[in-house]
């Protein structure tokens, strides 16, 4: 190209910047979850990370994951998770993660806590939600259909209560909030995404970070944030938005509706089970006041300082575990999603075996 010939590439970029040549290809947004977690870790007073404990946990976790051949395929091996690879499954996962929050019980009697009876078996916690959805579909209730959520003539509050009816005297926690989430999501999907969850996913252009951003921007019930520190910095957790992306990725094996070119941007999902497991592994340490509070099963304020520290430090801890695994095993196919899934499954096993070393913290909220 001579000096007198125009640089077509630069001209194209100039036209785009002036709005006369199409759009500049957009870069996937940064969810800022990891940045916020590191900030919380740097300024935390009541939760600390044990460096040696974290390194030891990384080695232990990787060893067990290898022994169990743990991968995204494990997701579909859970008997209640859907196995079909179609739009119905996408809708199922969306509803599942829309309502994936607050299953802990105040009852000291495990036999009295909220539970779903399904095909002759009782399920508690997260699995009670999945079982309830499956049961409703088998009863002919189109509970995973977004247009049904906004039809209050057919999808009445009483019907939703029926869907989540308990096998015990204890009702599902925060039922009214769950109904609000269903109604809100149905309305926004109808107004902004032609009533289609597939349209929402397609607008993300195979970007995990973009899908998370779409969810938290359009749907208030996914916008999981808090303020922390003297500067009142906004900390982004986005637990349910991120786990929705992760569940799609795992269910569809990174293909079709689960194909994301930046799946590594998804962090651990800050809930109440993973901090419990990280403490049991010797990764997290609590101040005496916080530890006593948790051991005495006292409730912790949602979006309060203690809760933000627990969640933020847990995200950063899992990130350090991921980095340590990759440092020791550079070719390892591992990300924060798989570590989170593995820790959650392991903690539930310990719960069933009755070998929990510390209770999980108790916070009532729609965020997890």
Query: Catalytic site residues?
Result: 271
For strand 233-236 and strand 225-228, is the pairing parallel, antiparallel, or unpaired? antiparallel
Which tokens belong to 160? 């939703």
The CA distance from 43 to 51, in Å, is 16
Which tokens belong to 362? 């108790």
Q: Kindly tell me the burial class for residue 160, based on how many C-beta atoms sit within 10 Å of its own C-beta (0-12, 13-18, 19 or more).
A: buried
Q: What is the DSSP string of 157-222?
A: HHHHHHHT--SSSSPPTTHHHHHHHHHHHHHHHHHHSTT-HHHHHHHTTT-HHHHHHHHHHH-GGG
**Letter string b/e over residues 165-192, b meaning 16 or more CB atoms within 10 A of that residue's CB:** ebebeeebbbeebbbebbbbbbebbeee
How far is Cα of residue 310 from the mean position of the Cα atoms in its chain?
Answer: 16
The CA distance from 270 to 303, in Å, is 12
Residues whose CB is less than 8 angstroms from the CB of residue 321 and which lie 6 or more positions away in sequence, other chains included: 54, 57, 58, 61, 283, 339
Backbone angles phi, psi at 293, to 5 degrees: -60, -45
The CA distance from 174 to 129, in Å, is 13
Residue whose structure tokens are 């969640």: 311
């Amino acid at each position: 190209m001579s000096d007198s010939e125009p640089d077509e590439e630069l001209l194209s970029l100039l036209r785009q910047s002036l709005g006369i040549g199409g759009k500049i290809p957009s870069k996937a947004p940064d969810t800022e979850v990891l940045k916020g977690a590191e900030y919380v870790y740097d300024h935390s007073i009541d939760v600390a990370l044990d460096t040696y404990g974290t390194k030891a946990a990384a080695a232990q976790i990787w060893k067990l994951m290898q022994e169990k051949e743990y991968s995204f395929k494990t997701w579909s091996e859970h008997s209640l998770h859907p196995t079909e690879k179609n739009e119905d499954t996408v809708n199922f996962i969306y509803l599942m993660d829309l309502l994936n929050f607050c299953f802990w019980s105040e009852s000291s009697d495990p036999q009295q806590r909220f539970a779903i009876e399904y095909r002759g078996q009782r399920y508690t916690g997260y699995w009670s939600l999945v079982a309830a959805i499956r049961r409703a579909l088998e009863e002919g209730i189109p509970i995973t259909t977004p247009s049904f959520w906004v039809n209050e003539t057919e999808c009445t509050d009483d019907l939703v209560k029926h869907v989540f009816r308990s096998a015990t005297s204890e009702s599902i926690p925060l039922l009214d909030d769950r109904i609000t989430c269903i109604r809100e999501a149905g309305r926004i999907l109808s107004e902004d995404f032609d009533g289609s969850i597939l349209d929402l996913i397609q607008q993300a252009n195979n970007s995990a970070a973009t899908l998370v951003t779409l969810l938290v921007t359009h749907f208030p019930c996914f916008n999981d944030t808090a303020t922390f520190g003297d500067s009142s910095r906004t900390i982004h957790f986005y637990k349910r938005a991120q786990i929705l992306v992760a569940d799609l990725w795992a269910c569809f094996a990174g293909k079709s509706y689960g194909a994301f070119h930046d799946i590594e941007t998804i962090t651990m999902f800050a809930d109440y089970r993973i901090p419990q497991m990280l403490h049991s592994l010797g990764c997290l340490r609590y101040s005496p006041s916080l530890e006593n509070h948790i051991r005495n099963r006292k409730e912790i304020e949602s979006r309060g300082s203690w809760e933000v520290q627990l969640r933020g430090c847990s995200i950063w801890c899992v990130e350090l575990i991921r980095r340590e695994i990759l440092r020791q095993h550079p070719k390892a196919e591992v990300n924060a999603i798989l570590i989170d899934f593995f820790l959650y499954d392991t903690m539930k096993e310990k719960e069933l075996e009755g070998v929990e070393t510390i209770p999980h913290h108790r916070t009532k909220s729609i965020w997890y």
